[in-house]
Amino acid sequence: MNAGGAEFAGDGRLVLRRMPNWYLTLFFSDALERFGFYGLQAILVLYAAAPRARGGLGLDIADAASLFGAWIGFMFMLSLVGGWVGDRLLGNRRALLAGCLTSVAGYLCLAVPADWATAAGLPLLGIGGAVYKPNHQAMINIMFGDRSRAREAGISLMYVATQVSALLAPLVTGYLGERVSWHLAFLVPAVVLLVTSVQLAVTAPQFGGVGDRPVNPLTPAERAAAARRTVYCVAVPAAVLVAAGLLGVLSATLAIGLTGVLSVVVPIAGYALLYRNPELGPDDRRRLRTFLAVYLGATLFWMIIAHAASLLNLFARDHVDLDVAGFVIPASWLQVATPVFILALAPVIALVVPRIGGRDNVGVKFALSLGLVGGGFLIMSLATVVAAGGGRISPVWLIVVYLTHACGEVIIAAVTISAAADVLPSGFLGRTLGMLWLFAGLGGGLGSGVVRLSQIMPEPLYYLTLGSVAALCGLGFGLCRRMISRGLAPSPPRPDRVEQGRAAR
């Protein structure tokens, strides 16, 4: 995401008209693909927790709340592989189309009222999203080339379009799922993604062959090695699942647990491999060590944000007064609060936030972001106390929590991407940014386990604990802001290089 998106919101139509046709294709494909993602985010936990008599999965609260975190952890975990598929195997544009079609298959599976279809659909959606998103970002960068100002304007407009999708998708899928049929609600994103796939296919000539072939294709030996690794990576989990099925222990809890474990292991292994890369020097590793704090801070932030699609959604269903002028709104409709706030506040934040922190902006902005979401969960702790009386509480409680999420999201999304660009040499930028996806997946994996504590801890204590941890970590970033700045600072020029430069002048 890009917090600067609001800078162009006012004259967005003018900027959009000035963009080439290929940009319009990528613009609308991203907006439509995100419609499916935010629609799923709004209803997945409600569908999982709904009784089978009402078309749901009938999972207990712990499994239902864990499901979204495990799924998003799975998708982010595969994002580096998705980028590799575009770079080395299919080409970025063809990978974009492949990701869309895979997601169509996933939504169609969810539209089938059968347990096997859900078990197949969610992994397909994770794979589709993991292939689509990094290759969409790659196509934007490749097509704009070195036109940085046009690229900024283009990405900013896409950010705004993403928030519009985040606003509309819960309204459509939430109403259909909660009031008509869960499976019809999943069919709508399938149709939307099918339209997106057709659009990407018929507009291929606009890209002039860019992305039709991998930039760095695999050699025959590498292709054989990749095939072997793929077989191992697929065969081992498949063998575990088959064995669990034969032993009669296969369950949603086991699948969520395995996904959670993988989403924790993969980022740790990925970071270790990047840190040990022989092309990195001592100063590169020093900056990467410091940036680990940023990765972990982002992990905590996104773990808390993911609660909006799990526990907070269930809280809205069970404890919030949803009656508005005689019409009881679907619980999932409260999910639109965050994109509404982001669209409304981004212009102000885009003007104010860049001026905050000065040289210590990374530490200061992380302190603000974690303080905001931590404060939101402290408010949530009070909301659960009020709701404990048995009556339904005002939706204002949740709306205030979503306001803190929106403000924190706009700040942290911009600072993490901006800071990542200066950590390692330019040849490592993709991997540095890719690690952000992996650590976001780590947040989802940890979240799928942490939400289970809400079933064994009193709800007020659960939110109080998480809110306090986030606020204290934010305080830690604030206190260590200068240390972080020194750790991320570029290497000072070597004296011999300075003298050589002076002599050359």
For residue 493, what pLDDT is reported? 52
Q: How far is CA 115 from CA 227, 252, 278, in A?
A: 30, 10, 47
Tell me which DSSP letter residue 51 carries: -
For residue 332, what pLDDT is reported? 92
Taking the CB of residue 495, how many other CB atoms lie within 10 A of it?
8
Residue 393 forms beta bridges with which residues? 320
pLDDT (tens digit per residue) in 413-422: 778 877 877 7
Half-sphere exposure of residue 32, counting CA atoms within 13 Å on the CB side? 22
For residue 8, what pLDDT is reported? 40
- Sequence-separated (6 or more) residues with CB below 8 Å from residue 147: none
For residue 147, what pLDDT is reported? 67
For residue 152, what pLDDT is reported? 60
Supply φ then ψ for residue 324, to 5 degrees: -120, 105
Taking the CB of residue 259, how many other CB atoms lie within 10 A of it?
27
Taking the CB of residue 210, how many other CB atoms lie within 10 A of it?
16
Which pTM value belongs to this model?
A: 0.82
Answer for the pair 40, 174: CB distance below 8 angstroms, yes or no: no
Give the whole-angstrom CA distance, residue 408 versus residue 412.
6
Q: Which residue positions in the chain have pLDDT lower than 50?
A: 1-10, 494-505
For residue 404, what pLDDT is reported? 94
Residue 320 forms beta bridges with which residues? 393
